[in-house]
Structure 1
Amino acid sequence: MLIGRIQEIWRHPVKSMAGEKLSECIVGALGIPGDRGWALRDEKTREITNGKRIPLLMQCAAAYEEQPNDGAMPPVGISFPDGSCINSNDPQVNARLSEVLGKDVTLWPLQPASNKAHYRRAKLSSRLAGRLSKFKSFQAMLPTLTRFGSMNVALREVFSREAGEPIPDISILPPEVLEFTSPPGTYFDAFPIHVLTTASLLAMSKNNPAAIWDVRRFRPNFLVETAPEIEGLIETNWIGKTLRIASVELKCEIPTARCGMTTHAQKELPKDPSVLRSIVKDADQNLGVYASVLNGGKIRIGDRVEII
């Protein structure tokens, strides 16, 4: 079934910073090489951080100086809100990032998956929950456990939920993301690919026409321009199905639960809490879909997107 065509391709060199729009890309087992290839660590907590905790990160931008591959990450150039720039090779890069962001942070390329300490969450309770989540019986209990107490409070903070709003079902997440800030060996939130459609953006703009439903708020890898007859939040129907784009096959794993990062100011985009309020109310908290890679290959702007 034809869904549409690839309208935009995005790679985000530094986690939570503005990314690069590409005309084509290679997709491997870990997604687009170089996507979320770098991240910042909060030196106070010794934990990988993001735009949820440091919203100003989203007003910075990053671009590679050479094309990355599946090996070591190449140097990255970072642009700050005031227009100044710095390179990841600059000895002053950590000091400059800390000055701009108002926190003691350091910039890190991807580390091997075996370096679990690099990815581990700081809170002991998160580590314990992560280890317990390897057991299916504990995973089944998570929707109940997170309705009350400290877990509910923590998740409301993470996902920027107001009183009375639901929280996402974290039992569908990969178990390791409870213990670690990302699956070890990556800086992804959950899965290596994120897909969003113009149909979903249009549906949300009808629900909340005062908001700016710009793709940059949602940070997908692929924006699919849907066929004219396709309407609504169609990614909801893709879970468990396979997308084919040229020779690439992607398994749609889980819906993309949204958090406060969608509301933060970016270049040319104002802060707007109504974006998240609308997603929670009108889209069951989700917008887009996370996917894993079944078969890699090259994707170009204009490639057909099909459900197979």
Structure 2
Amino acid sequence: MGGEQIHEASVSEKGIDQDRVWAIRDEKTKTIRGAKHFGDLMHFSARCLERRFSDQVAHVEITLPSGKKVCSDDDSVHQFISEALGRAVTLWPIMPENNDNHYRLQDLPKASSLKEFRRSFGLEDGEPLPDMSGFPKELLREFVRFSTPRGTYFDAYPINILTTASLFKLASFCPDSSLDRRRFRPNILVSDNKALCDFVEDGWLNNSLIIGSSKFEIETRTVRCVMVTRSQPEIPKDTVIMRRLVEHASQKLSVYATVSTPGNICTGNVVTLPNLGVSNAS
């Protein structure tokens, strides 16, 4: 669903506190699914509720496309989301890592597996498959068997970092597209006051990055999927964005990171890459 903009956060090895701790399960296939499959989810939004917890997971208030609000601890939440989505679904908090069945892909495609892969990545006929070599083999094995890495609802890693420099660079290839940051769903957006126009994150691989009292390890570039083309409130559907990403950026934009030093971050922190001697304002 559409996210919630916050200006300060605590960060642990699991990522930003309370990020992606709820997910939708398709009741027809009994598989955890997101907006890659149900694009209309991007017209829902959610925000965490303070002091209302299910175990260690904060309850959320979900705003449906109609504007109606429903909370995750409401007995009718599954019904309301299903009716708004036009599909029978249920809402689930994060489950333990050893609950394989919860995370397992129950609806693995058979003969059409390649077609489904291309669809989920927003690719047209003739466009190359994305290069996944930046991901470790054990994570690639998770992608094949499970909807998300077990114990998380992340696509791959707990942190995604994007720069405004990359958005300016992409905009130079598709000037008529709306490149609202919400399309790319970063946990952290790094701004340099419009000084740069380049895919600068590509030079951060295998380096550390410090923000506030937190330290991040840059793992790999983010392979983009059909999500960046989805419509959202005030954002139109736009497949041109994927065409330009494939053509000019190998379908990659932003970087994934893990957290090596938990701490706190906030808007206005200086972003430092010690090994490169570079600092930017976030």
Say which of 73, 78, 98 aligns to 1:89.
73
Tell me the SS of whatever aligns to 1:65.
Answer: strand
Aligned partners of 1:120 and 1:180 also within 8 Å: yes
- TM superposition score normalised by structure 2: 0.90
Contact 1:34 1:68 in 2 (8 A): no
Write 1 or 2 for the structure with the bigger share of helix: 1
Per-residue displacement from partner, 1:165-223 (whole Å, max 9, x unpaired)? Answer: 11112343323222111111110000000000000001111111100111000001000
Q: Counterparts of 1:110 and 1:35 in 2: how far apart (Å)? A: 10
What does residue 162 of structure 1 align with? 124
Alignment partner for residue 159 of structure 2, among 180, 193, 196?
A: 193
For residues 15 and 272 of structure 2, the distance between their equivalents in structure 1, rounded to whole angstroms, comes to: 18
Count matched residues.
270
Instruction: Note the C-alpha offset of 1:281.
Output: 1.3
- Where 1:22 maps in the other structure, the secondary structure is coil
Cα distance in 1 for residues equivalent to 2:259 and 2:50: 24
User: Residue 65 of structure 1 contacts residue 77 of structure 1 at CA under 8 Å; is this kept in 2?
Assistant: yes
1:195 is paired with a residue whose SS is strand
The aligned counterpart of 1:137 is none
Give yes or no for contact 1:38–1:110 (8 Å, CA) kept in 2: yes
Identity of aligned residues (%): 41
Letter of the 1:234 counterpart: V
CA contact (8 A) 2:134 2:221 kept: no
Quote the residue 1:72 is aligned against.
56
Corresponding residue for residue 243 of structure 2: 277
Q: Residue 74 of structure 1: SS of its match in structure 2?
A: strand
Number of the residue aligned with 2:38 = 54
Instruction: State the partner residue of 1:152.
Output: 114
Partner of 1:266: 232
Determine if contact 1:34/1:69 at 8 Å carries over to the other structure. no
Q: Structure 2: which 5+ residue stretches go unaligned?
A: 275-282
Output the amino acid matched with 1:281: E
Higher relative contact order (CA 8 A, sep 6+): 1
Calculate the TM-score normalised by the size of structure 1. Answer: 0.83
Counterparts of 1:188 and 1:168, CA distance in 2: 19
User: RMSD of aligned C-alpha atoms?
Assistant: 1.9
SS class of match (2:58): coil
How far does the alpha carbon of each residue in 1:227-280 deviate from its partner, in whole angstroms, 9 at most, with x for none?
Answer: 654330111111211111122111111111111111111111111111111111
Residue from 85, 88, 91 that aligns with 1:101: 85
In the alignment, what sits opposite 1:252? Answer: 218
